[in-house]
Structure 1
Amino acid sequence: MDLESFLGTARRLLAVPSTADRPDELHRALDLVLDFAGGPGFTVERFESNGKPSALVYAGARRPHFRIILNAHLDVVPAPAHQFRPRLAGTRLYARGAHDMKVSALAQAQVFRELAGGLPYPIALQLVTDEEVGGRDGTLYQLEQGVSGDFVIIGEQSGLRVVTDSKGMVTANLRATGRSAHSAYQWLGDNALLKLQRSLDNTLARYPVATEEAWRTTVNVARIETPNQARNQVPALAEAWLDIRFPARDPDLDGRTAEEITAHLASFCEPGVTPVVDHVDPPHHADRNRPEVRGLQRAAGNQGYREGFLRKHGAADGRFYYQRGIDAVIFGIGGDGQHGPDEYADITTIVPYHRALREFLENPGAG
């Protein structure tokens, strides 16, 4: 691997502000990686759902059932303009998306380009642009269009450790209704914001804000809003956004339907506050004894990295495969600061990651 040349391409990719609200930039990031991954005899299938483009690349003219799929997302969360000007400081490549997960995506694309045409079994490179906003128009949409495989490697950051478990996710809103009145005559009104606040306090008493890493259910209050426009008016409406992450075997959430989770959330709500569940995605789990999992661990260990397992608190597109009985793991480069002001990729992990992927793909059942 020519690391200097690779980093040049990585910088061009990291300079693309491929956020959900910029469809042209999503296409630009996708096209850049497709050009990088292209080779003679490769087929590129393009997909689009709700304005989010994605692609599937494989050798040959017809799509087979794949033994292995390399999955990567090219979208990023919003950031100030300076984070889309990549900078190298020592062994750290700073930029939005460097850690999550454009550098791993590009490394997957390079390995695919090098090996896909010569392996004795079919593999695919799956590139999506909507993972940060739910993944339903990328990975899930492709699965609904008949894409299938036996084993999936998602290139999310992991420091070359294998992630076999990640939390499930519930997105929900709490909607409060009250009665408007002049604020000087509070007894004539019913403040929706205060009812919402008490409901949130009840919810967070059950699920306290985590102050250190803990493998338990967490609730993030992402937004509180009201259409009220006057300081001297009692608000009649208010709403809060909740992002809930839960591990397997949580008795209140795991395996529950949206209706059952709605009823659970309602138990924390004041009269006049109604929970509305938007999406429920299950936790993700892969069989740690599967030969491919052991083979991937062995390949990372041969590069000097620990062979233990990791658990991810965030959800990833592996949950869509898990729902279909397909084992998926997360395996990516090192770094830190994803979604933050100092996000960076550790460039010392790029070459070992490339080597480990190659070794694994050349003998996926080793271990």
Structure 2
Amino acid sequence: MLTHDVLADPIALTRALVDIESVSGNEAEIADRVEQALAATELKVERFGHTVVARTELDRPQRVVLAGHLDTVPLHDNFPSRTEGNLLWGCGTADMKSGTAVALHLAVTEPAPRHDVTYVFYDCEEVDSARNGLKILADRSPHLLTDASFAVLLEPTHGLIEGGCQGTQRVLVRTTGKRAHSARSWLGDNAIHKAAPILERLRRYRERIVSIDGCEFHEGLNAVRIAGGVAGNVIPDECVVEVNFRFAPDRDEEAAAAHVREVFDGFDVEFVDSAPGAPPGLDAPAARELLAAVGEPPRAKLGWTDVARFAVLGIPGLNFGPGDPNLAHKQDEHVELDKITAVADVMRRWLHG
């Protein structure tokens, strides 16, 4: 059980959450602890699998969402946590148990915010989208989210506002040839060699930089995997280059796909994964208030986050959390203790106006 003293201190709460192993698919224990802590408040608490939702019912004129995921990537000799000076080390410290701890701390210690608040603590963010607890909640019980006018996802941003997110697509660009014995290669048609123009197009590609609401989104089109070959003495008859396109949120998925097809015109292109981006969402009144509380200019979220799920529901949202995104998924993942305190203080001021 998370004690009152731990819940009252976002640093101690971060440490406590990090010390509950919760690799994706193993969130039962941490969800139990979160549910128990919320059940002791006046919030209305519901649980869906290992996703926990808690709502204020104060009849405020506006509702906001604070959301954080409970899971981590697999451990890598970085569990349990350890503290050295201003740093807390351990799996999930940056991505994103420090942000989740801030949300849980506020849920327990701030009973009368000026906005109604929906707190969402969800599972399986780090794995396949079909298992994502926020996605499942949005698909099955959207009414728990759609009455909100703004959302904050406490993903790692190092204490700065990161607006929106990039969209992402993965495609397979395929070449085909004809098998033959490598000693008589002229009898075949080498599919790996035929992939050279694909790589050359990628090498020569120049990314687009788009400014939206003062946030600069850098696009990127990159080969991330290549596969081909049959045996050490066989001319290959197929080669597949896997390409990831990270696109600015001024493109929808259809426009992004059209761009990819244009780049690889003449090749067989198969789309295997796609997710939309999200605009920065900085025009919402609650967003402007949060920006004022932070006191620093926003920047673009270079990556995909679940703010895109809120955008699909018509809810503007942004990312704001204490962790450093550059440390996410690394063995030496850590978070600065003063960043946890600073983000908690900003969120508390924002919730009280």
TM-score range, shorter chain: 0.7 to 0.9
Q: What CA deviation, in whole Å up to 9, does each residue of 1:312-351 have, x standing for no partner?
A: 1111111121123211011111445222232211111112
CA–CA distance in 1 between the matches of 2:129 and 2:104?
Answer: 20
Moved more, 3-12 or 181-190: 3-12
TM-score normalised to structure 2 length: 0.82
Deviation at residue 101 of structure 1 after TM alignment: 0.9
Deviation at residue 189 of structure 1 after TM alignment: 2.2
TM-score normalised to structure 1 length: 0.79
Deviation at residue 155 of structure 1 after TM alignment: 0.2
Q: CA RMSD in A?
A: 3.1
CA–CA distance in 2 between the matches of 1:169 and 1:85?
Answer: 33
| Structure 1 counterpart of 2:200, one-letter code | D
Unpaired segments of 5 or more residues in structure 1? 301-305
Q: What CA deviation, in whole Å up to 9, does each residue of 1:228-283 have, x standing for no partner?
A: 4521122223333322211244xxxx1351xx655543444486x42212333333
Structure 1 residue 355 corresponds to structure 2 residue 350: no
* 1:13-24 correspondence runs (5 A): 13-20=17-24, 23=25
| Structure 1 counterpart of 2:221, one-letter code | V
Q: Could you say if the C-alpha distance between residues 345 and 162 of structure 1 is closer, same or farther in structure 2, counting changes exceeding 3 Å? A: same
CA–CA distance in 2 between the matches of 1:239 and 1:38?
Answer: 51
| Structure 2 counterpart of 1:284, one-letter code | A
What is the SS of the residue equivalent to 1:110?
helix
Q: Could you say if the C-alpha distance between residues 65 and 241 of structure 1 is closer, same or farther in structure 2, counting changes exceeding 3 Å? A: farther
CA contact (8 A) 2:150 2:315 kept: yes
Structure 1 residue 165 corresponds to structure 2 residue 164: yes
* 1:193-342 correspondence runs (5 A): 193-207=192-206, 215-226=217-228, 228-249=229-250, 254-257=251-254, 261-262=256-257, 264-269=259-264, 273-300=267-294, 306-335=295-324, 336-342=326-332
CA–CA distance in 1 between the matches of 2:6 and 2:202?
Answer: 52
* Percent of aligned pairs sharing the same letter: 23
| Structure 2 counterpart of 1:176, one-letter code | T
Number of residues of Structure 1 aligned to a counterpart in Structure 2: 335
| Structure 2 counterpart of 1:14, one-letter code | V
* 1:50-69 correspondence runs (5 A): 53-59=50-56, 67-69=63-65
CA contact (8 A) 2:11 2:341 kept: no
CA–CA distance in 2 between the matches of 1:131 and 1:355?
Answer: 26
CA–CA distance in 2 between the matches of 1:262 and 1:342?
Answer: 36
CA contact (8 A) 1:198 1:270 kept: no
Deviation at residue 129 of structure 1 after TM alignment: 2.2
Deviation at residue 4 of structure 1 after TM alignment: 9.6
CA contact (8 A) 1:83 1:341 kept: yes
What is the SS of the residue equivalent to 1:31?
helix
Unpaired segments of 5 or more residues in structure 2? 210-215
* Corresponding residue of 1:99: 94
CA contact (8 A) 1:192 1:236 kept: yes
CA–CA distance in 2 between the matches of 1:267 and 1:291?
Answer: 39
